[in-house]
Structure 1
Amino acid sequence: MQNTSNLHLPATEKNLWGWINGFIGVVIFSASLPATRVAVQAFDPVFLTFARASIAGVLALCILALLNAKRPGRSQLLSLLIVAIGVVVGFPLLTALALQHVSSAHSIIFLGLLPLCTAAFGVLRAGEHPRPTFWLFSVLGSALVIAFALSQGLTANPKGDVLMLLAVLICGLGYAEGAKLSKTLGGWQVISWALALSLPLMGALAWLSAPASFAGIRPSAWFSLAYISLFSMLIGFFFWYRGLAQGGIAAVSQLQLLQPFFGLALAATFLHETVTLGMFGITGAVVVCVVAAKKFAM
């Protein structure tokens, strides 16, 4: 099945749908960390990572079969492996481990660096040469996040901060590689094939790491597992990659800058976590740096 998201639409309408689909994807992703925070209170983070990937992988395999999706070529397998390492295993596992040490509100601050990491890896993969101003704002944004993490040293666990930084780096790589591959394979096919190819290993590891009993696990934990499996791992990427294809990667990817704000609001609303003005201030400053870095990227 070919990717038809860009076909038979006027340029203006296609661009509008790109922003709409991208926005929906960002909203879906914004609930990932709060939902993971709830889930890790009941499930081991290692099992949680393998379980969510397995559930999403089974659904992705069914979708690929039903839609008779185009199979990836041999030359595309390495890119799919990078996507799988970045967004199927790496980011979910590292964030689940981090959320054992820090609140979801604290961890969401680090998502302000995700667009920058995606852009940086996109630059490396595409061989582009950004202006020096790009790197200036890149370093400034990173410094703001590190300064915030250090300022929370008395109340936050440094281990959680390190894990979140690693999670953002590996996720940025997975996003950039997926965006590059989607130009030839198709947007929704990229995440579906990455999940499907990971399924045998993820399923086996989920089985081996499963707890002896699931008794006593609250409904909120099961709901959170379902959300991060169905939406964060699969459905969100359908909207996200379609938006990138319709509206352009450089333009639509800036919608990621809204993710920390949505995430903080969700954490405060549903988890009753403390969200300070300082968190919003740092997030806003990071957003400004990322917007400026994007502007001077080319």
Structure 2
Amino acid sequence: MRPRHLALAVAVAAIWGFNFVAIDAGLDHFPPLMFSALRFGLAAFPALLLVGRPQVPWRWVIAVALILGVTKFSLLFAGMAAGMPAGLSSLVLQSQAIFTMLFAVLFLRERPRRIQIAGLAVAVTGVLVVATRMGANLPAFLLVIGAAVAWGLSNVATRKASPPDSLRFMVWVSALATGPLVVLSLLIDGPSADLAALRAINTEALLSLLYIALVSTLAGFAGWGLLLRVYGAATVAPFSMLVPFFGIASAAVFLGEPVYLVDVLGGVLVVGGVLLGLVRGDLFSGRRLVRVEA
């Protein structure tokens, strides 16, 4: 990998890692579902007017919008709002690789190699280690695990869609996710809570919203898509394992979150297990299914 592309890969991982700090800051002001709706709405417009049609069948755009945009991020934001630490959330979400493999076996008839199964078994162990510390707030932990499940399912749907332009695809996914999220926010968060948050918006809330919509979503996926086109998933995917390290480090620096030994141990197992499955090529017998979104 050329030095400038290597720097880009690390920069994207850093952007997505810091994203969890921005989410934490935004959730201090916005209700979770409203925050997610605003995020996707801002990511979609006005970019939607510039990118053209998604270049894949609409059923896959709708499916990924509902699974990834609505379900995954609603569960993630709800889990973090319920008390799941930002840094730990960035780590636990990497368990998506486990669920991606399971769904790929079920729906794509993939046959993972033994080394891949062993690697994901190590990753499962890491998630269980982290779960031991979250016993006091297990519901928040399970919400983030649910987000990882949805992410794994969306990976398989995205693989089936095979969009030639990942940025364009993500803009349309964001656009189609916005409407259902607005409806859910009105029904669950309530109109009064949404209106109060909009009236009391401050600089910190606005900056966090702009960061996750424009920097993390649009700029992040533009850079990631470029790397995938130049080098392929087998080369680029391992850089996603840097996301939890940047997430935990930035949460410690900017939010003052303590870093516990059990978190470090669990993180090493999760990241090491996923990387083990990549040692001899793509995660799934030549299929390029490893994708990262934040």
Q: TM-score range by the shorter chain?
A: 0.7 to 0.9
State which of 268, 275, 283 in structure 1 corresponds to 2:259: 275
- Residue 113 of structure 1 and its aligned partner are, at CA, apart by 1.8
For 2:13 and 2:105, locate their aligned partners in 1 and report how far apart those are by CA, in whole Å.
Answer: 22
Matching of residue 241 in structure 1 with residue 228 in structure 2: no
| Residue 291 (structure 1) aligns with | 275
Which deviates more, 200-209 or 264-273? Answer: 200-209
Q: What is the match of residue 97 of structure 1?
A: 78
Of 28-37 and 172-181, deviating more is: 172-181
Q: Structure 1 pair 151/202, CA: closer, same or farther in 2 (3 Å)?
A: closer
**Counterpart in the other structure of 2:45:** 58
Q: What value does the CA root-mean-square deviation take over the aligned residues?
A: 2.7
- Equivalent of 1:174, from 151, 154, 159? 154
| Structure 1 unaligned blocks of 5 or more | 1-11
1:179–1:187 CA contact under 8 A, matched in 2: no
Q: CA deviation at 1:205?
A: 5.8
> Partners in 2 of 1:145 and 1:185 — Cα distance?
33
Paired residues of 1:188 and 1:241 also in contact (CA < 8 A): yes
Q: 1:119-198 residue pairs with structure 2 within 5 A?
A: 120-122=102-104, 126-154=108-136, 157-182=137-162, 184-198=163-177
What are the equivalent positions in structure 2 for 1:221-260 lying under 5 Å apart? 221-260=205-244
Percentage of matched positions with identical amino acids: 25
Q: How many residue pairs end up in the alignment?
A: 276
**Code of the aligned partner of 1:91:** K
Equivalents in 2 of 1:140, 1:288: separation in Å? 8
Pair 1:83-2:64 in alignment: yes
Q: TM-score, normalised by structure 2?
A: 0.82
Shift in Å at residue 263 of structure 1?
A: 0.3
Cα 1:214–1:71 change in 2 (3 A) is closer
The 8 Å contact of residues 123 and 129 in structure 1, kept in 2 or not, is answered as yes
Distance of 1:247 and 1:236 partners within structure 2: 17
2:29 paired residue number: 42
CA 1:89–1:38: 2 relative to 1, 3 Å: same
In structure 2, distance between residues paired with 1:107 and 1:241? 24
Distance 1:108 1:188, change over 3 A: closer
C-alpha contact 2:37 2:177 (8 A) present in aligned 1: no
Maintained 8 Å contact 1:21/1:242: no
Give me the whole-angstrom Cα distance separating, in 2, the residues matched to 1:237 and 1:56: 11
Report the more deviating stretch, 221-230 or 167-176.
167-176
Match of 1:7 in 2: none
Unaligned runs of 5+ in 2: 286-294
Give the TM-score normalised by structure 1. Answer: 0.81
Return the offset for 1:265.
Answer: 0.7
